[in-house]
Amino acid sequence: MAEHEDTPEKAAAQRDGHAVVQSYLRTLDASPGVYRMLDAESRVLYVGKARNLRARVSNYARPAGHSPRIARMIRETASMMFLTTRTETEALLLEQNLIKQLKPRYNVLLRDDKSFPNILVAKNHAFPQIKKHRGKRSEKGSYYGPFASAGAVNRTLTQLQRVFLLRNCTDATFESRTRPCLNYQIKRCSGPCVGLIDARDYANLVADAERFLEGKSTNIQASLAAEMQAASEAMEFERAAALRDRIRASTAVQQVQGINPRGVTEADVIALHLEGGQACVQVFFIRANQSWGNRDFYPRTGAGAEEPEILEAFVTQFYDDKQPPRLILLSHSVDNADLVAGLLSERAGRKVELAVPQRGEKAELVENAARNARESLARRMAESAAQGRLLEGLAEAFGLEAPPRRIEVYDNSHIQGTDAVGAMIVAGPDGFLKSQYRKFNIRGDTLTPGDDFGMMREVLTRRFERLLREDPDREGETWPDLLLIDGGAGQVSAVAGIMADLGVDDIAMVGVAKGVDRDAGKEEFHRPDAPPFALRHNDPVLYFIQRLRDEAHRFAIGAHRAKRAKSVGATPLDEIPGIGAARKRALLAHFGSAKAVSRAGLADLQAVEGISAAMAEKIYGFFNAG
């Protein structure tokens, strides 16, 4: 790659945008690459890729023939930057990386970066566990997915348990069981933990479950029916009844899956609906001839991009960290379809096809997704209009210059100072932005237990020091317009002091305190250097603020409970260097408790699988030092 910036003289800032673009043409050749258009303050307006940089940029130099969006962008352009690449694919990759990093105003941007859950059939145990999995596929086993949501995974797991009786307990729980658990009692597990099924028969159940997840489930019911008949003829009526229940569960699963496509084994169906400058993209996941749910996305449209550009940007950004399927069915053609398909094929290590079907079952799948996109966008636009009115009311109530685009709400949670957690939630014109939520494990060793002021100081200091470090010019979308604090005048005064110390004293802040009776609806609002006030009891803005406060409290409580549960499960073994999760499980399974490990001799420690002589000495020395 080679980068160069031939910034025109300062006088160019006053020149027409077309002339600014024209001035760069003499420096460009036919190389592929990426270009950036910058405004007079050097903020990036747009990042684009080109197979031929000179040809692409010359289009912008034309004084007419542009869409209103492109014309506005050219008018605002004061300078450009260029980066040449060896290949078109390299240019596409670089473009998406820069868009994600810079978030330019005129680019399409996918704002949801959450991972999708999978089902994992773990293969590190004689009796494999079936469970939900997110993140990197580092654990040994078979992965099936993606599923659109945790709910879709949970429903499928429940179905699998009913039909195939696979365990979902952890290995540690499995090793410690002495009698069947509740799942066995309600016929969702075959009881391998207490020897109620042998390894071979359990392996057969696992194989059946995997065939189901691969879409090869047609023979399962017939096989179960034959087994039930044989058990009945052998007068094993209890076993026959259990098989009958599994057949019923399997039938129920197939009824639920009745909408599944017969002619599409593996595909993602992606449909876009564009209206009023807003876009909704629906993604349906089809794996093993089964629909594994759908998710809607609302990408930023880059101030008015059209369908081909929006879909190209969505597809390349969506699969940036996800494995693409063999077939992607689209509602519209995308710009540079061959380039996008080549990039996805390279990422997947096999051919990935993009298609815009016109007839048949595939076209029906796309139409179904498009209808969902249309309906979802209509609901969102109605909700956004209502949300906009609430934000306008909030600005009026708190004396803000304009409706806030980003509200951050802070809360703390602890029990007598232990397992303290700070929480931040975010809301704006699109409602709650859950991907922006953050939790802060309170680290201050000098804090007095229960010191809420001290906790808030730590949270805000960490939050805004990071913002100042990452975006000192406040060009991004992560700077808040309004801070809501759970507390009264004292809390607001303390927060104002913290923000002043950080040099960030121009962000509006409001404390939300219960009234004298501490009843919902009698909240008092506190601002720095202003008397407290209240809103009328039935004011929609009051209900909105209550929802914000309650959401922050819910998130803080959840984070605190998760931290407390983790600390409750902690043992002294966690403090020994070299003892990870696997060795910890092995030690606890062998000795029964951390206390028993602490009393064990060297020979006993060495008898545990995975514990070498050197590690046994380290463990023994940890518990017997001095």
Q: Containing H/E element for 297? A: strand 290-297
Q: Does 558 share its domain with 411?
A: yes
CA distance 440 to 451: 15
The whole-number average pLDDT for the span 548-554 is: 91
Whichever domain contains 10, its CATH number is 3.40.1440.10
Structural domain span for residue 35 = 2-106
- pLDDT band, residue 38 (cuts 50/70/90): very high
Segment among 377-386, 413-422, 569-578, 589-598 with least mean pLDDT: 413-422
Q: Which residue has the tokens 């680290």?
A: 443
Say if 368 falls within a structural domain: yes
* Neighbouring residues of 497: CB distance < 8 A, sequence distance ≥ 6: none
Q: Hey, which of 49-58, 493-502, 555-564, 616-625 has the most confident mean pLDDT? A: 49-58
Q: Which residue has the tokens 């008397």?
A: 531
83-104 average pLDDT score: 92
Question: CA–CA separation, 185 vs 24, rounded Å?
Answer: 75
The pLDDT assigned to 217 comes to 60
12: pLDDT confidence band, cut at 50, 70 and 90? very low
Residue 392 belongs to a domain: no
Whether 117 is covered by a domain: the verdict is no
How far apart, in whole angstroms, are the C-alpha atoms of residue 291 and residue 284?
7
Q: Are residues 436 and 514 in the same domain?
A: yes
| Chosen domain end from 259, 278, 307 | 259
Using CA atoms, how far apart are residues 462 and 404, in angstroms rounded to an integer?
A: 22
User: Are 540 and 578 contained in the same domain?
Assistant: no
Tell me, yes or no, whether 148 and 186 share the same domain: yes
Cβ atoms of 139 and 165 closer than 8 Å: no
CATH of the domain at 504: 3.30.420.340
CA dihedral 87, 89, 95, 101 (to 10 degrees): -110
In a domain, 398, yes or no: no
Mean pLDDT of 20-41: 93
Number of domains in the chain: 5
Identity of the highest mean pLDDT range in 15-19, 212-216, 482-486: 482-486
Highest mean pLDDT among 268-272, 383-387, 525-529, 590-594: 268-272
Q: Is the pLDDT of residue 49 over 90?
A: yes
Which has the higher per-residue pLDDT, 403 or 147? 403
Same domain, residue pair 194 and 301: no
Q: Is the dihedral of CA 261, 262, 267, 272 positive or negative?
A: negative
pLDDT (0 to 100) of residue 257: 46
Asked if residue 503 and residue 438 are part of one domain, the reply reads: yes
Mean pLDDT for 27-50 is 93
Could you tell me the pTM of the whole model? 0.71
User: Over the range 278-309, which residues count as b (16 or more CB within 10 Å of their CB) and which as e?
Assistant: ebbbbbbbbbbbbbbbbbbbbbbbbbebebbb
pLDDT above 80 for 215: no
pLDDT value at residue 567: 63
Residue 63 DSSP code: S
Same-domain status, 556 and 414: yes
HEC profile of 102-128: HCCCCCEECCCCCCCCEEEEECCCCCC
Q: What is the CA radius of gyration of the chain?
A: 30
Separation between Cα atoms, residue 402 and residue 203, nearest integer Å: 63
Which of 73, 106, 139 represents a domain boundary (last residue)?
106
Answer whether residue 16 is part of any domain.
Answer: yes
The last residue of a domain, from among 547, 567, 587: 567
Q: Where does 407-464 show beta strands of DSSP type E? A: 407-415, 418-428, 431-432, 438-441
Same domain, 98 and 57: yes
Nearest by Cα to 485 from 410, 408, 557, 552 = 410
Residue 558 and residue 434 share a domain: yes
Looking at the domain assignment, is residue 341 inside a domain? yes
CB 47 within 8 A of CB 95: yes
Across the chain, what does the average pLDDT equal?
Answer: 85
Q: Taking the chain, what is the end-to-end CA distance rounded to the nearest angstrom? A: 60
Residues 387 and 429 sit within 8 Å (Cβ to Cβ): yes
Tokens 């460009």, residue? 28
**pLDDT tens, residue by residue, 226-259:** 778 887 878 877 777 777 776 766 655 554 444 5
> Is there a single domain that holds both residue 521 and residue 425?
yes
Which residues, 6+ apart, have CB-to-CB distance to 318 below 8 Å?
110, 270, 283, 297
Q: Are 410 and 494 in contact (CB under 8 A)?
A: no
Q: Which two tokens stand for residue 305?
A: 């991009």
Share of the chain above pLDDT 70, in %: 89
CA trace torsion 329, 333, 339, 344 (10° rounding): -20
- Provide the pLDDT for residue 95: 95
pLDDT of 609 strictly over 60:
yes
Give the distance, in angstroms, between the CA of residue 194 and the centroid of all CA atoms in the same chain.
38
* 367 plus 449 within the same structural domain: no
Strands 407-415 and 353-355: unpaired
CATH number of the domain within which 617 lies: 1.10.150.20
- The answer to whether the CB of 113 falls within 8 A of the CB of 76 is no
Q: Is 511 helix (H, G, I), strand (E, B) or coil?
A: strand
Quick check: is 115 in a domain? Answer: no
Interval 564-571 mean pLDDT: 65
